[in-house]
A and B are shown apart, each in its own frame.
Chain A
Amino acid sequence: MKRIAHTNIRKKRADRTGYWFVLPYVLFFLMFVAYPLGFSFILIFHRWNIVTPMEWIGLKNFARLVVDPLFFKAITNTFTFLLIHIPLQIVVALGFALALNSNIRFRSFFRAIYFLPVVVSGVVVTILWQQLYAYDAGFLNRLLTAVGLSKVPWIISPEMAMPSIAIMATWKNVGIYIVLFLVGLQNIPRELYESASLDGATTTRKFFHITLPMLNPTIVVVLVLSTIGGFSLFIEPYVLTGGGPMQSTLSAMLYIYNQAFYFNHMGYAAALGFVFAFVILIVVLLQRKSVETEPTL
């Protein structure tokens, strides 16, 4: 009896310590997660410029959104970005990971170099690529003319601007995925390849029947992270093109930013955020459904 009472006291004390330890996070959560989340749900039904009182307008923000050409422009721009960025990223990352996944000297040196753009600020990368992409005196066009090719209007033509940003974003991010694919490759059991070799499988067959299926979880990670990244694209178009030419690089986040901080349309910007988040959710679910072989979540 005495002993039970003792453990009960101990348990209570542990309880109380636990509460004290998590209390800061609970406060943080209420203030910076729960409150903004709840408030955004109110905001989407209002017209508000922060200064004058809020005005209830029901679903008018959404009525406006479904006929807003710039909203659809931002969506199609993001899809253009993803359509180039994702395949490019997977092919490049897989290529380098395969090359690194063998008895290579200086492996960590190469890995370190490929990873360099990942750690450097997106602002630096964008300023740098602005010079590389410049039409008249840019590095890439000088290189092209030096070997006898014609100049490419990288960021000044509406057709090329978003693909150019997608290439730049791939250059910046692909280091992460090289390392992720490398980890994935090293987790494939050697025996699979050995028994396939005994059965007379060619290198190509082994790649498509062992390597690719075994890397499926990594490919799903690349898809999901790249999609979220595409919808969060901001500083690249903000610095490089300002969303132009002809709105061709207006990204989802840049459009929210313009609506909120240029025009002070807080309600409409919040509604845009909501809908974009919903689109992200749908796209990611569809990707998982069509690509994932072993559901994890």
Chain B
Amino acid sequence: MKAILKYFFLAVGATIFAYPFLWMIAASLKPEAEIGGLGLWSSSFSLSSYGTVLTKIPIGRAFLNSVIVSLSTTTSVVFFGSLVGYALARLNFKGKQALFVLILFTMMIPFQITLIPQYIMIVKLHLTDTYPSLIVPTMMSAFSIILFREFFKGLPQAFIDAARIDGCNELKILFRVVWPLSRPTVITVAILTFMTSWNEVLWPLIVVRERSLMTMPQLVTIFTIGGEAESLLGLQLAAATLLALPVIIAYAFFQRYFVESLTSTGLKG
């Protein structure tokens, strides 16, 4: 009896979290008049809302922009994060401890303070409406450096010594020896960074005004609140579904890694 109640509770929860998404996808395929319905099925499913969205806004281009920005950011964060993390964990140099404390300190600065000055810097460098304005300010992350440092510290010294005796330089050791041993951390940092970058919307809204350079969440936001969707729910939901789909597909394949990456921020916090 108790077990049945438990499953019932869990199933109600699953419905509450999953049904709105199913409803959204179904509604984006329904004709406008049927969208208010509570159910999922309609006899007149069509892709016409998607067709209209595709002709009204350059969402394909926005998708490409988002891919370029997120991939560049992720590559950079993983590369520099492991580079600095390796130096902090495995190399000796003066000021190492001070730098580590400094990096921990930067994680505590609320972005409410740095947002305006960062925007002004982008303006003064004439970088508004460019890819670099979307990529460069997030090229490195203190959190990823810390994650890499923690993991690298736990690796056995014997592997690194062996590589040094073979005459490898530190860069080679990092990428040929340490990286292959650190796949879980690389994946965690990569997924966390990619997700954060893909879903970021405030910063693009600030530094990009040119439609052809907008990221996908930004374009969908502007489309929804800017009146272009003409208060047609079908169009708004179709645009939202297009924005959600890449992440949901990625999530379906790498579910475990997503959960681990995103909760790591909480475990460390």
Contact = CB atoms under 8 A, between A and B. Distances in A.
Contacts of A207: none
B17 A123 contact: no
B112 to A, nearest CB: 4
Given A120-B247, A120-B248, A127 B116 contact: no
B123 interface: yes
Interface string B182-211: 000000000000010011011000100000
B111 to A, nearest CB: 7
B16 interface: yes
A155 interface: no
Nearest to A129: B20
A132 B20 contact: yes
Given A180-B267, A231-B112, A273-B112, A114 B87 contact: no
A230 interface: no
A233 to B, nearest CB: 11
Contact of A273 (B86, B99, B116): B116
A266 B256 CA distance: 43
A252 B112 contact: yes
Nearest to B108: A281
A180 B111 contact: no
Q: Decide if the interface of chain A is mainly helix, strand, loop or mixed.
A: helix
A39 B14 contact: no
Residue from the set A14, A21, A266, A274 with the largest chain B CB neighbour count within 10 Å:
A21
Interface residues of A, number: 91
Contacts of B83: 21-22, 24
A250 interface: no
A11 B195 CA distance: 40
Contacts of A110: 10, 13-14
Given A24-B140, A121-B201, A131-B237, A33 B206 contact: no
A123 B217 contact: yes
Nearest to B38: A142
A235 to B, nearest CB: 5
Q: How large is the interface on B (under 10, 10 to 19, 20 to 34, 35 or more residues)?
A: 35 or more
A63 interface: no
Given A28-B140, A122-B199, A124-B240, A102 B6 contact: yes
B16 to A, nearest CB: 7
11 contacts: A33-B109, A43-B117, A108-B255, A121-B243, A121-B244, A123-B221, A123-B240, A123-B243, A131-B237, A221-B267, A253-B202
- A-B complex: 6 closest residue pairs judged by Cβ atoms: A18-B93, A36-B117, A21-B87, A18-B91, A137-B36, A273-B112
Interface of B: 6-7, 9-10, 13-14, 16-18, 20-21, 23-24, 27, 35-36, 38, 80, 83-84, 86-88, 91-94, 96, 99, 102-103, 106, 109-121, 123, 136-137, 139-140, 145, 169-170, 195, 198-199, 201-202, 206, 217, 220-221, 224-225, 233, 236-237, 239-241, 243-244, 247-248, 251, 255-256, 258-259, 262-263, 265-267, 269
Given A95-B9, A113-B18, A175-B17, 13 more contacts: A22-B83, A25-B103, A32-B118, A43-B117, A99-B9, A102-B6, A108-B256, A119-B247, A123-B240, A131-B27, A146-B38, A232-B112, A239-B224
Interface of A: 11, 14-19, 21-22, 24-26, 28-29, 31-33, 35-37, 39-40, 43, 50, 95-96, 99-100, 102, 104, 108, 110-124, 127-132, 137-139, 142-143, 146, 171, 175-177, 179-180, 183, 221, 224-225, 228, 231-232, 234-235, 238-239, 242, 252-253, 256-257, 260-261, 266, 269-270, 272-274, 276-277, 280
